[in-house]
Amino acid sequence: MNPPRPSVFCFISDLSTIINHAKVRFLGCVSRYDSLAGDLYLEHNYPQGPAPFPSIRVHIAPIIEDVDPELLEVGTWVNVVGYVRNQDEFISYIVDLAARGEALDDDRWLQYDNHGFWDDVNPWTDSVDGRPVFVDAMLVWSAGAVNLGEYERIQRNLHDLHRRLYGEDVSP
């Protein structure tokens, strides 16, 4: 049995370039919470630029019972660990199931979840730029009093280290 895959530490602006089904960890500021869909919308203005800021939809419905309600308030900074999902592919999968009169139960979710990511795939180099994605959250917790400048500096350093070790450009 293989151990759980480590998460890729990234910026929100990196998420559309990371392969489908990769586990990621990132920081974001709550801009909106959709209680009907169970989706949290996060932003982080990195790299710095004019609005609209890089943002991501984070699906938290399966873990909502474990999420502190204070974390759903606009302006709250949170950490997220979850899986990148290709939005178009996921919608097509659900539509196909519905056309056959089938539901997205736990077994089918596992089939979907496991079909696109293998242990030998590098989430940075085996990616598709600019596709619409969302994150299916496993964990959401408070970032506390985060020093954003320090966080961004450390992230850039991690990207530089990865590039030097593996010869790949992973900078945003």
Q: Which of the two residues, 131 and 123, has the higher pLDDT score?
A: 131
pLDDT in tens, 132-161: 788 999 999 999 999 999 999 998 898 888
Is the distance from CB of 137 to CB of 42 less than 8 angstroms?
A: no
Residue that has been written with the tokens 């900078």 in this structure: 171
- pLDDT attached to residue 105: 53
Higher pLDDT, 134 or 4: 134
Mean pLDDT, range 63-69, rounded to an integer: 94
Output the pLDDT for position 40: 94
**106 in any annotated domain:** no
Residue 25: φ, ψ to 5°? -135, 135
> Domain for residue 81, yes or no?
yes
Contact (CB, 8 A) for 75 and 29: yes
CATH of the domain at 46: 2.40.50.140
Q: What is the pLDDT of residue 41?
A: 93
* pLDDT above 80: residue 170: no
User: What's the confidence (pLDDT) of residue 129?
Assistant: 45
Q: Mean pLDDT across the stretch 72-96?
A: 83
Asked if residue 172 belongs to a domain, the reply is: no
Least confident range of 53-62, 87-96, 97-106, 116-125: 116-125
Q: 53 or 82: which carries more pLDDT confidence?
A: 82
54 Cβ contact list (under 8 Å, min separation 6): 11, 12, 13, 43, 44, 45, 46
Answer with the residue of higher pLDDT: 19 or 57.
Answer: 57
Residue 165, both tokens: 């070790």
Residue 115 falls inside a structural domain = no
pLDDT of residue 67: 95
Please check whether residue 109 lies inside any domain of the structure: no
Count the domains in the chain: 1
Q: Which residues of 130-164 are buried (b: 16+ CB within 10 A; e: fewer)?
A: eeebbbbbbebeebeeeeeeebbeebeeebeebee
Least confident of 9-18, 42-51, 60-69, 110-119: 110-119
| Over residues 58-81, mean pLDDT | 95
Which structural domain range is residue 14 located in?
8-86+129-166
On whether residue 95 sits in a domain, the answer given is no
Is residue 113 domain-resident? no
Q: Is residue 74 part of a domain?
A: yes
